[in-house]
Amino acid sequence: MALLLNELHPGWRTLRIHESSPEFRGVSRKLAQECANYVPTQYRPDAPLGAVIEGYRNENLEKQTFEDGAFDLVVSLDVMEHINDPEACFREIWRTLKPGGAYIFTAPTYKEGVRTERAARLLENGELELYREPEYHGNPINPQGSIVTFRYGYDFPELIAGWAAFEVRVVRFSDRHHAIIGEFTETYVCARIC
């Protein structure tokens, strides 16, 4: 994320940046410390959307309260695999970006996955519908973690481009100089051209 941020948007410190679900370390810490127009958000379903709670604005990526074209960049690290409705999420991110803006994010992409697979769904009544063995990842505001709702395959860029008018680029790293090697090194760059 940091390498692409510096490569594609070297003036990021002056941009308006929304980061969803940051942990205060790594690139998230750098953004918070060096970007004057940085807006960190977490999602607490039991609190009012748009409220600031413990230094984070409460936002549901699928139904954001931000105005149209609010940001130059949106970033997230390993959030998309926990989204219940990724189509709504990508449309909302597109809406909140200025023309020429971009959404840069990481999400596990499974090399054996030609097609994206839904793993779980949160129903309107609050129940969880499982389609495979449940898998949880860490969550900075919930010690129980977050359920994995999607396992993304190599069709993910085409899905994104079908959901919103993004030009999608996938960068896969094998970079020994920066110690970025192994599986799950994909970083997605979704550019809003218009």
For the chain, what is the total number of helices (H) and then of strands (E)? 4, 14
Residue 143 located in a structural domain: no
pLDDT tens digit string along 116-162? 999 999 999 989 999 999 999 988 888 888 999 999 999 999 999 99
Nearest Cα to Cα of residue 16 among 2, 33, 36, 34: 36
- Please provide the size of the chain in residues: 194
111 pLDDT band, cuts 50/70/90, is confident
Instruction: Locate all alpha helices (DSSP H) within the chain, ordered by sequence.
Output: 2-8, 26-34, 86-96, 156-163
Residue 28 located in a structural domain: yes
Residue 55 located in a structural domain: yes
Residue 121 located in a structural domain: no
CATH number at 185 reads 3.40.50.150
pLDDT tens digit string along 55-66? 999 999 999 999
Give the residue numbers spanning the domain of 85.
2-110+152-192
Instruction: Return mean pLDDT, the chain.
Output: 94
Please compute the mean of the pLDDT values over residues 74-96 and round it to a whole number.
Answer: 97
Residue 116 located in a structural domain: no
Please compute the mean of the pLDDT values over residues 13-19 and round it to a whole number.
Answer: 98
68 pLDDT band, cuts 50/70/90, is very high
**Residue 42's pLDDT is what?**
96
Residue 164 located in a structural domain: yes
Residue 83 located in a structural domain: yes
* pLDDT at residue 180 greater than cutoff 90: no
Residue 34 located in a structural domain: yes
Quote the CA–CA distance of 180 and 194 in Å, as a whole number: 32
Please compute the mean of the pLDDT values over residues 8-30 and round it to a whole number.
Answer: 95
Count the domains in the chain: 1
Nearest Cα to Cα of residue 75 among 16, 19, 141, 131: 19
Please compute the mean of the pLDDT values over residues 31-43 and round it to a whole number.
Answer: 97
